[in-house]
Amino acid sequence: MKNNIQESAAAMMAKVALAKAVAAATGRVGHGGTTLPGRVARTFDRDLVGRLSRRLAHGAVVVSATNGKTTTCAMIAGIMQGTGMKVVRNREGANLTAGIASALLKDSSLAGRPRSEIGLFEVDEAVFPEVSMQSQPRIVLLMNLFRDQLDRYGELEHIAELWRKAVGELSDTTTTVLNADDPLVAELAALRPGKTLCYGVEDISAGGLVMQHASDSKYCSCGSPFDYEVAFIGHMGIYSCPACKRRRPSPTVYAEKIRLDGMRGSSFTLVTPDDSIEVTLALPGLYNIYNALGAAACCYSLDIPLKQIQTGLEAFSAAFGRVERFSIQDKPVCLLLVKNPAGFNEVVRTLMIEPGRKSLLIALNDKIADGRDISWIWDVDLEMLAGSVHSAVCSGTRAEEMAMRLKYAGLGEESLSAKQDLRKALKEALDRTPEGETLFVLPTYTAMLALRQLIHEHFKTDRELGDLVWK
């Protein structure tokens, strides 16, 4: 394979045409996005992502994290589109290199010219090095590293090492936007002096002094445990190392005056070096404030005015399946994706702000996309729910393990049931939800996809779920 960038227009056209033909022939596959055209194209051009993304007028933004990358990318896209920018992005579930290649191909003319001006790519943590090297992004946004699907990726430290290497190899033209509150992410700033912008939470009242059990990176790279002034989510907080004196970097973009309003949403003051502005989010929980901060810091680096950042964030509802509200047979339903201990803890914490005893449907699958190892549910602080649950119907391929976990969390056996079949479980959960109460549905990723399909086909809802996806 030739490596010269000045490839002949005819050769490029032939490759793009072939790949686009594959795209047309296969159409959209599954619920997420199709990666087949990208996979095909990359077999005859390994550098396709690089070639196509280098032609974008405003370059590419690459986003990676364990938690929140889909929501944050959707927020960034909303803000960019609000400024009139044309954005090409990969879709949910297509966050490997082939998915990005597919998105770029779809956006390209036959001659390989992009129709969009800027690329926005959500990438899997393990694939971030490959994508960042190929696309030479203008901005890299790295948000957090939590334990997630260890059976697929290996240990957290291994991912952190991949990230250190990749960030060290970024070109001088790339700006790195980092979460100051996650020690494993913030330490990357030392590799990029002058080309980094950090963001974080500056409202101590939003955190707790006790670390949650899902905390992962509690130790400094020098081997000493961090001192935490405050922990916000898991190991994210305001920390310093008593031994080597490493401190959390001061964030340039940050949130203060945080107010959490249960499932209804939240608000905070967004501060940048230029100005500050009130932001009201329709999304619940501190974790979504972190997502909004990541999006805001990224857009600030792109010189988007603060007012437009605010407008974009406030117009945002929720990314695919993260938080969706609808009703089935006049019963309000709130669907919240849970996929790892840190995210699940935040969902539980947010639920606990709601008054009354909760009606729950928790669907735990152990398919590859969920992580086949379900040990992680024992790291979720489900003990918080004890005494506050009216009923919890457990479903999915590991329904019984989930029900058992809740029993050990202190929920009464009479409030628990296990039904692997999602349809039966949903029906039972609706039946057990008292009149006027909301049913909270907490599925893992593949269970969420199956539930949406099931609701679409068999249950009467007040609106199409598809309409709730992007706003």
- Asked if residue 407 binds other proteins (CB under 8 A), the reply is yes
Of 113, 164, 357, 372, which one interacts with other proteins (CB under 8 A)? 372
Q: 365: which 2 tokens?
A: 């699958």
Q: How far is the CB of 216 from other proteins (least distance, A)?
A: 9
In Å, how far are 46, 125, 196, 319 from 236, measured between CA atoms?
37, 18, 19, 23
Q: Are the beta carbons of 330 and 362 closer than 8 angstroms?
A: no
Q: 420: which 2 tokens?
A: 């692997």
C-beta of 416 vs 455, nearer to other proteins: 416
Query: What would the x/- binding string for other proteins be over residues 314 to 343, using CB under 8 A?
Result: ---------------------------x--
Enumerate residues 30-89 that contact other proteins by CB under 8 A: none
- Asked if residue 181 binds other proteins (CB under 8 A), the reply is no
Q: How far is the CB of 402 from other proteins (least distance, A)?
A: 9
C-beta of 85 vs 404, nearer to other proteins: 404
3-state secondary structure of 374: coil
Q: How far is the CB of 336 from other proteins (least distance, A)?
A: 21
Identify which of 140, 104, 67, 130 has the alpha carbon closest to the alpha carbon of residue 302.
140
Stretches 92-100, 133-141, 241-249, 402-410: which one binds other proteins (CB under 8 A)?
402-410
Stretches 2-10, 314-322, 414-422, 438-446: which one binds other proteins (CB under 8 A)?
414-422
Of 223, 273, 355, 436, which one interacts with other proteins (CB under 8 A)? 223
Dihedral pair phi/psi, residue 318, rounded to 5°: -165, 145
Q: Are the beta carbons of 353 and 260 closer than 8 angstroms?
A: yes
Q: How far is the CB of 151 from other proteins (least distance, A)?
A: 5
- Asked if residue 235 binds other proteins (CB under 8 A), the reply is no
For helices 69-82 and 286-301, give the axis angle rounded to 10 degrees: 50
Stretches 284-292, 398-406, 428-436, 454-462: which one binds other proteins (CB under 8 A)?
398-406
Query: What would the x/- binding string for other proteins be over residues 338 to 367, using CB under 8 A?
Result: ---x------------------------x-
Of 405, 419, 432, 452, which one interacts with other proteins (CB under 8 A)? 405
- Asked if residue 375 binds other proteins (CB under 8 A), the reply is yes
- Asked if residue 461 binds other proteins (CB under 8 A), the reply is no
Pairing between β-strand 227-233 and β-strand 236-240 as defined by DSSP bridges: antiparallel
- Asked if residue 413 binds other proteins (CB under 8 A), the reply is yes
Enumerate residues 419-448 that contact other proteins by CB under 8 A: 420
What is the C-alpha separation between 61 and 137, in angstroms, rounded? Answer: 6
> Contacts with other proteins: how many residues (CB under 8 A)?
38
- Asked if residue 379 binds other proteins (CB under 8 A), the reply is yes
Stretches 13-21, 54-62, 149-157, 275-283: which one binds other proteins (CB under 8 A)?
149-157
Q: How far is the CB of 338 from other proteins (least distance, A)?
A: 15
Sign for the pseudo-dihedral over CA of 171, 193, 96, 80: negative
Enumerate residues 202-221 that contact other proteins by CB under 8 A: 213, 218-219
- Asked if residue 147 binds other proteins (CB under 8 A), the reply is yes
Is residue 17 within a helix (H) or strand (E), and if so which, with residue range?
helix 9-26
Q: Is residue 411 classed exposed, middle or buried when 0-12, 13-18 and 19+ CB atoms within 10 A define those classes? A: buried
C-beta of 154 vs 242, nearer to other proteins: 154
SS (H, E, C) 31-83: CCCCCHHHHHHHHHCCCHHHHHHCCCCCCEEEEECCCCHHHHHHHHHHHHHHC
- Asked if residue 386 binds other proteins (CB under 8 A), the reply is no
Q: Are the beta carbons of 82 and 110 closer than 8 angstroms?
A: no
What is the C-alpha separation between 133 and 137, in angstroms, rounded? Answer: 8
- Asked if residue 397 binds other proteins (CB under 8 A), the reply is yes
Provide the total of helices (H) and of strands (E) in the chain, helices listed first. 15, 17
The torsion of the CA quartet 410, 412, 413, 419, rounded to 10 degrees, works out to -80
- Asked if residue 403 binds other proteins (CB under 8 A), the reply is yes
Please give the order of strands across the beta sheet that includes 118-123. 87-89, 118-123, 60-64, 139-142, 175-179, 196-201, 253-261, 265-271, 276-281
Q: How far is the CB of 128 from other proteins (least distance, A)?
A: 19
Q: 296-320 in b/e burial notation, b at 16+ Cβ within 10 A?
A: bbbbbbbebebeebbbbbbebbbbb
Residues that bind other proteins (CB under 8 A): 147, 150-151, 154-157, 213, 218-219, 223, 225, 341, 366, 372-379, 397-401, 403-405, 407-410, 413, 416, 418, 420
